Amino acid sequence: MWKANWKIIAIICCFAPLLYDSLNIGQLVMRQKHLSKRWADRSLLINSKYDNVTRLRFEFERNNKMKLSSNTFDNNAIKENLNNDFSPLNPKENATLLMLVRNEEIYGALDAMRELEDRFNRRYHYDWTFLNDKPFTPLFIKQTTAMASGKTQYALIPSEDWDRPDTVDMDKFEERLKKMNEEGVLYGDSKSYRNMCRFNSGYFFRQKILDQYDYYFRVEPTVKYFCDFPYDPFRVMREQKKKYGFVISLYEYENTIPTLWDTVTEYITKDNGTDIDMSTNSYKFITDKEILNDGDVMHGMSSNDYNLCHFWSNFEIGDLNFFRSDKYLNFFSHLDETNGFYYERWGDAPVHSIAMALLLRSDELIHFEEIAYLHEPYYTCPLAYDMRIHQRCRCNPEDEFNIPLNSFSCLNRWWRHGSGKYFMNTFE
């Protein structure tokens, strides 16, 4: 008896604090529930106002269907998934996946194809278009065709769209290459890299094989996609009237583009408000130099008004009709006439980005935050846990090379000056 009483006392003593805590926890949970409901209500409101396409697709996939593993090799399972699930909802858009690639990059090309097929294209079967300045080998054609769930097609780039124009002064060119190499400029002495950058800036969209499409999705060898696509980005582009989509934005190396901004400034003056509407475009995104975090002291500091922010163009989804328009063609010719692609080492990323920031309304650009993507060494992985679960991501969000909140990312400036990000407090 005596012993038993002690036990009871002991139990009461030990558990009393816990009991007390659990009452407190109960209150906390109540409070939390109340708060959660408030935020949930706000989220719903914001979703319904601004985010319907994305979220509704998301909800559909989450609640209505079990998804099969992407890496299954069971043909019937894949077909069933396609027939019952995605296809009827999503008639294909007028679009192609597009890869500029060399024959010797075949295995990297296959890696990237497998990645994109598993996470997106196996459900849609978009065409794959391959471009090369040299003829593709039969083996390249065979292997990439086997990997694609859609039709494949291959085109040889005409020399006049790829090679260095005659207007480039050879002595000056060689001397500049030597100098840039000595200065340690990335790809500073590469001639082929310059052809590639100029081609991607001004010629890819002129290839005949692309005339039949409205949209392209650029893919490079060895890139990876870490999560299921929760929607067809082409469809989002069309429905939301977007002209350019990106996932990563970084600061450019200024030593590759010493006179690019001066050339752009000349164009802005020459245009005199005809194509460039400063009241609706994203000029602020590429010129805002306010220090937003510690990293900005090191990144984005340049000798002119351009803050070096650009969309990382190895991933891009774009409207070909925009590139084919006089607006873009005039802008490109103005840059190209200086031969800056050769005397310096202008990348297609800053060229595309500056064009988009000047010539488009900011609401014609889209940041695809649900698409997780790696091009060495940087990647983007959704920070939202829920998103990572539902899209079956395999990336680590907490890593210095995950770009979104990193100091060398320009996303903070995009959120500030671009469009597409809404914060809760905007609606309080």
Ligand X SMILES: *[C@@H]1O[C@H](CO)[C@@H](O)[C@H](O)[C@H]1NC(C)=O
Ligand Y SMILES: Nc1nc2c(ncn2[C@@H]2O[C@H](COP(=O)(O)OP(=O)(O)OP(=O)(O)O)[C@@H](O)[C@H]2O)c(=O)[nH]1
Catalytic residues: 316
In terms of Cα–Cα distance, which of 164, 189, 201, 190 is closest to 313? 201
Q: Which residues contact 171 (CB under 8 A, 6 or more apart)?
A: none
Q: Choose between 100 and 236: whose C-beta lies nearer to ligand Y.
A: 100
**Contact flag: residue 257 with ligand Y (CB under 6 A):** no
Q: Which residues contact 74 (CB under 8 A, 6 or more apart)?
A: none
The Cα 88–Cα 90 span in angstroms is: 5
Site for ligand Y in 304-323 (CB under 6 A): 314
Q: Which of 95, 98, 101, 365 binds ligand Y (CB under 6 A)?
A: 101
Strands (E), 274-348: 309-311, 316-319
214 binds, among ligand Y, ligand X, Mg ion, none (CB under 5 to 8 A by kind): ligand X
Q: Which of 118, 220, 363, 369 binds Mg ion (CB under 5 A)?
A: 220
**Contact flag: residue 189 with ligand Y (CB under 6 A):** no
> Looking at residue 307, what DSSP letter applies?
-
The Cα 82–Cα 246 span in angstroms is: 27
User: Contact region for ligand Y (CB under 6 A) — 85-93, 98-106, 113-121, 408-416?
Assistant: 98-106
**Contact flag: residue 111 with Mg ion (CB under 5 A):** no
Q: 93 by DSSP, 3-state: which?
A: coil
**Contact flag: residue 163 with ligand Y (CB under 6 A):** no
133 binds, among Mg ion, ligand X, ligand Y, none (CB under 5 to 8 A by kind): ligand Y
Q: Choose between 133 and 271: whose C-beta lies nearer to ligand Y.
A: 133
Query: Smallest distance, Å, CB 89 to Mg ion?
Result: 33
**Contact flag: residue 212 with ligand X (CB under 6 A):** yes
Neighbours of 7 (CB within 10 A): 10
In this structure, the dihedral spanned by the alpha carbons of residues 291, 305, 198 and 364, taken in order and rounded to 10 degrees, is 70
Site for ligand X in 231-270 (CB under 6 A): none
Q: Which of 136, 148, 210, 221 binds ligand Y (CB under 6 A)?
A: 221
**Contact flag: residue 181 with ligand X (CB under 6 A):** no
User: Contact region for ligand Y (CB under 6 A) — 80-88, 95-103, 207-215, 290-298?
Assistant: 95-103
Q: Which residues contact 140 (CB under 8 A, 6 or more apart)?
A: 103, 106, 109, 130
**Contact flag: residue 133 with ligand Y (CB under 6 A):** yes
Pairing mode, strands 244-246 and 365-367: parallel
259 binds, among ligand X, Mg ion, ligand Y, none (CB under 5 to 8 A by kind): none
Q: Which residues of 225-239 are buried (b: 16+ CB within 10 A; e: fewer)?
A: bbbbbbbbbbbbbbe
Q: Choose between 213 and 217: whose C-beta lies nearer to ligand X.
A: 213
Q: Choose between 48 and 84: whose C-beta lies nearer to ligand X.
A: 48
User: Contact region for Mg ion (CB under 5 A) — 144-152, 219-227, 237-245, 342-350?
Assistant: 219-227
Cα four-point dihedral sign 131, 134, 135, 136: negative
Q: Which of 22, 48, 83, 192 binds ligand X (CB under 6 A)?
A: 48
In terms of Cα–Cα distance, which of 334, 353, 352, 359 is closest to 278? 359
**Contact flag: residue 100 with ligand Y (CB under 6 A):** yes
Longest dimension (CA), the chain: 106
**Contact flag: residue 94 with ligand X (CB under 6 A):** yes
**Contact flag: residue 196 with ligand Y (CB under 6 A):** yes
User: Contact region for Mg ion (CB under 5 A) — 218-226, 240-248, 291-299, 401-409?
Assistant: 218-226
The Cα 303–Cα 254 span in angstroms is: 9
**Contact flag: residue 357 with ligand Y (CB under 6 A):** no
Query: Smallest distance, Å, CB 272 to ligand X?
Result: 4
52 binds, among Mg ion, ligand X, ligand Y, none (CB under 5 to 8 A by kind): ligand X
The Cα 363–Cα 89 span in angstroms is: 26
- Does residue 156 contact residue 134 with C-beta atoms inside 8 Å? yes
Q: Choose between 351 and 360: whose C-beta lies nearer to ligand Y.
A: 351
Q: Choose between 235 and 388: whose C-beta lies nearer to ligand X.
A: 235
Omega before 377 cis (within 30°)?
yes
Q: Choose between 94 and 265: whose C-beta lies nearer to ligand X.
A: 94
Helix, strand and coil in the chain, % to nearest 5: 50, 10, 35
Residue ranges that bind ligand X, judged by CB under 6 A: 48, 52, 94, 212-214, 272-273, 321
Residue ranges in contact with Mg ion by CB under 5 A: 220, 314
Residues that bind ligand Y in the complex, under the rule CB under 6 A = 100-102, 105, 132-133, 192, 196, 220-221, 314
